[in-house]
Amino acid sequence: MDARALAALAANPGCRRRALLDGAGVDKGALAQALGAPANFGQSQFAHQRGNSFEARVKADGGADLVRLLHERLRDGSEPSGPGAVATPDLTASGPQGRTARTALALREATEAGRWALLDHPMVSLDVAGSSAFLEPDAVVVHPDGSWTVIEIKSFPMVDGSADPAKVGAAARQSAVYTLALERVASMIGEPDEDGGGTTDPAGAAETAGKAARGPVRARVRHQVLLVCPKDFSNLPTAELVDVRKQLAVTRRQLDRLTRIEEIAAALPEGTTFDLRLTDDGRIPTRPVGELTAAVDAVDAAYAPECLSTCELAAHCRIRSRAAGRVEALGRGVRGELGGLTTVDAVLTAAMNGPADGAPTGDPAVDALRRAAALRAEALAARPEAVACR
């Protein structure tokens, strides 16, 4: 799982199907394809190219520009970095474990050096439900005071200081995953960050500066990440600090919950597997769709339309949810006033089959539905002419 996938867990934490498939590392895209309900996802190569070229442009000068942006946004009165003052340690190593170890070493050295450093595409790991996930932030900056800032470079624009809130939110959740992984590295380097929970940490830099001045340099991950985007309609970078304490709290909690995957798996029928039985060239699944569907259906989903943009399996779950007549297929919000009525049929039956005298049934949801149906019918009957859909 990458950071984006980990962050996406928060999109629907109540979905056991997703938790299990993600926790087990199943390729949901391939599974959806094999089930005959592929996701409408995809990335345009134009967007991909632009993302890469913007990142390259931002980092082109060895990080000086990034550190300048970060320093400007901090507004903490500290000295700006001089020319050539940003170290850019080499992080080359073989394999994810090797790169993770190399990153940890580079972070330690940069922290002890007490100067600005830019780690370009470091690698950090996070324990996800018992196995290691390797994550690669765009960059991490080490401050002279020994604190670290996650840098997230995105190619959507900041126009007049604001950006698409949904995209910023997604970037914040993704960065929170990196921040969490870095906190583990920091705790191994320096003394552990006892305020890691964030609720008593006002995200201020002043407190840190004081501590740093007193004792030996200690590693600390800042809970504000730097989001770097193109400015207005240009290709020049601009940046804003984004407070990710809330996203951190959520991510921590989601990761804790992921350990429950074993419980979910234990409840599955013996021998349940999501193996697609690919042909030898690894291209064509040979497992019968019916069998695969049964395996997927063995674990409950909590489908809602929001899934369509965050989960590869959503199109399949939508079909199943609609077939079962679940009210959530019309949106999470519709459930609020329906009480114990969970299917479209149940709702329509309750609404239409009222006693003639309109006496209360004792279930406020049913009473309100009958009232709604009566009012709706009355208004539609009073239409001046038969209009609407032909």
Partner 1 sequence: MIGADPAAAAAHPGRARADEPFDPSAAAARATAAILHDTLHGADRGVVVDSPPGAGKSTLVVRAARELAAAGRPLMVVAQTNAQVDDLVDRLATADPDLPVGRLHSSDPHPYDPVLDGHESVRTSAKIADLAGLDIVVSTAAKWAHIKHVEPWRHAIVDEAYQMRSDALLAVAGLFERALFVGDPGQLDPFSVVGADQWAGLSYDPSASAVTTLLAHNPRLPQHRLPVSWRLPASAAPLVSHAFYPYTPFRSGTGHRERQLSFGVASDGSGPDRVLDEAAASGWGLLELPARRTPRTDPEAVAAVAQVVRRLLDRGAVAVSERSDEPQPVAADRIAVGTAHRDQAAAVRAALAGLGVSGVTVDTANRLQGREFDVTVVLHPLSGRPDATAFHLETGRLCVLASRHRQACVVVCRAGVAELLDEHPSTEPVQLGVTVKFPDGWEANHAVLAHLSEHRVSWQP
Partner 2 sequence: MSLITTLARMEAVREGRAQPLTTVRHRHLSPRPLAFVPLTTAGEAGAPLGALVGTDRDAPRLLIVAQPRDRDLRFAFLAELAEEIQPYLDSYADEVDLEERKETDPETGKKVPVQVELCADAPQLLVPSTAGVAFVRLLGRSMRFRRTAEQDPETPFPAPARVPLLGRWLTHYGERSRVPGSCLLLSLTELLSRHWATGQSNLEDQHLGSLLAWIDPPEGAPGAEAALRAESERDGDGLLRCPPAGPSTDPAFDNKLLAPAMSRYDAARTEASQGVAGGAARLRLAETELRGLIASQLRPTWDALWHGVDLLRSLPEGARVADRWKRDRWSYTGHRDRVRAGEPPQPKLDDAVTAAQKLAARETAQAQLDAHEALDDPLVMAGRRLAGEAFAGEVTDVEMAWSDAKVPRPRPLVTIRTEDRPHLAERVKLHRVTADGRAQSGEFAGLADLDGADGADEADGDHGADVVEGPGDTDGLGDTDALSHAHGPGRALVVRLTGGMGRGKEPEPGTVPEKGDLVCWTLFEHAPRGGPELPDVESTPWTHGGPPDAAAPAQGPQPDPMTEEDHL
- Residues of this chain that bind partner 1 (CB under 8 A): 10-14, 158, 161-163, 165-166, 168-173, 199-200, 202, 204, 227, 240, 242-243, 245-247, 249-250, 253, 257, 302, 306, 310, 332-333, 335-340, 342, 362-365, 368
Q: What, of partner 1, partner 2, none, does residue 282 touch, CB below 5 to 8 Å by kind?
A: none
- Token couple for 255: 């990761």
Decide whether 102 or 245 has the Cβ nearer to partner 1. Answer: 245
Phi, psi of 71 (to 5 degrees): -65, -40
Contacts 24+ apart (CB under 8 A), 186-192: 186/107, 186/148, 186/219, 186/220, 186/221, 187/219, 188/104, 189/104, 189/107, 189/108, 189/111, 189/219, 190/111, 190/146, 190/217, 190/218, 190/219, 190/220, 191/218
* By CB under 8 A, residue 63 contacts partner 2: no
User: Could you tell which of partner 1, partner 2, none binds residue 165, using a CB distance below 5 to 8 A set by kind?
Assistant: partner 1
Contact flag: residue 311 with partner 2 (CB under 8 A): no
Find where tokens 């928060």 sit: 10
Question: How many CB atoms within 10 Å of residue 127?
Answer: 13
Angle, helices 64-74 vs 45-59, to 10°: value is: 80
Per-residue tokens: 18: 């997703």
Read off the amino acid at residue 11: A
Length of the chain: 390
Q: Does 389 bind partner 2 (CB under 8 A)?
A: yes
344 binds, among partner 2, partner 1, none (CB under 5 to 8 A by kind): partner 2
Q: Which amino acid is at 118?
A: L
Query: Binding segment for partner 2 among 103-111, 203-211, 254-262, 331-339 (CB under 8 A)?
Result: 331-339
User: Which residue stretch of 4-12, 240-248, 273-281, 350-358 sits at the interface with partner 2 (rule: CB under 8 A)?
Assistant: 350-358
The answer to the question of residue 97 lying near partner 2 (CB under 8 A) is no
> Contact, 91 vs 102, CB < 8 A?
yes
Beta bridge partners of 139: 120, 151
Q: Note whether 159 binds partner 2 by CB under 8 A.
A: yes
Residue 54 binds: one of partner 1, partner 2, none (C-beta under 5 to 8 A by kind): partner 2
Number of residues that bind partner 2 (CB under 8 A): 68
Q: How far is the CB of 335 from partner 2 (least distance, A)?
A: 9
132's contact among partner 2, partner 1, none, with CB below 5 to 8 A by partner kind, is none
Largest CA distance in the chain: 85
Q: Tell which one of 2, 27, 53, 273 touches partner 2 (CB under 8 A).
A: 53
Closest to 343 in 3D by CA, of 361, 330, 318, 324: 324
Token readout for 4 is: 């984006």
When the beta carbons of 246 and 376 are compared against partner 2, the nearer one is 376
Q: Considering only residues 170-209, where is the footprint of partner 2 by CB under 8 A?
A: none
* Residue (95 or 333) nearer to partner 2, CB: 333
Using rule CB under 8 A, residue 360 touches partner 2:
yes
Taking the complex as a whole, the smallest distance from the CB of residue 230 to partner 2 amounts, in Å, to: 6
Residue type, 4: R
Q: Which does 30 bind (CB under 5 to 8 A by kind): partner 1, partner 2, none?
A: none
Kindly state the DSSP code that residue 233 receives in the 8-state scheme.
T
- What is the SS3 assignment for 128? strand
Q: How far is the CB of 195 from partner 2 (least distance, A)?
A: 34
Any contact of residue 113 with partner 2 (CB under 8 A)?
no
Strand ranges in the chain using DSSP code E only, listed in sequence order: 117-120, 124-128, 131-135, 139-142, 147-153, 220-221, 224-230, 237-243
User: Does residue 156 interact with partner 2 by CB under 8 A?
Assistant: yes
The rounded distance, in Å, linking the Cα atoms of 357 and 359 is 5
Binding site for partner 2 (CB under 8 A): 40, 42-51, 53-54, 57, 155-157, 159-161, 230-236, 305-306, 308-309, 315, 322, 325, 327, 329-331, 333-334, 337-338, 344, 347-348, 351, 357-360, 368-369, 371-373, 375-376, 378-380, 382-385, 387-390
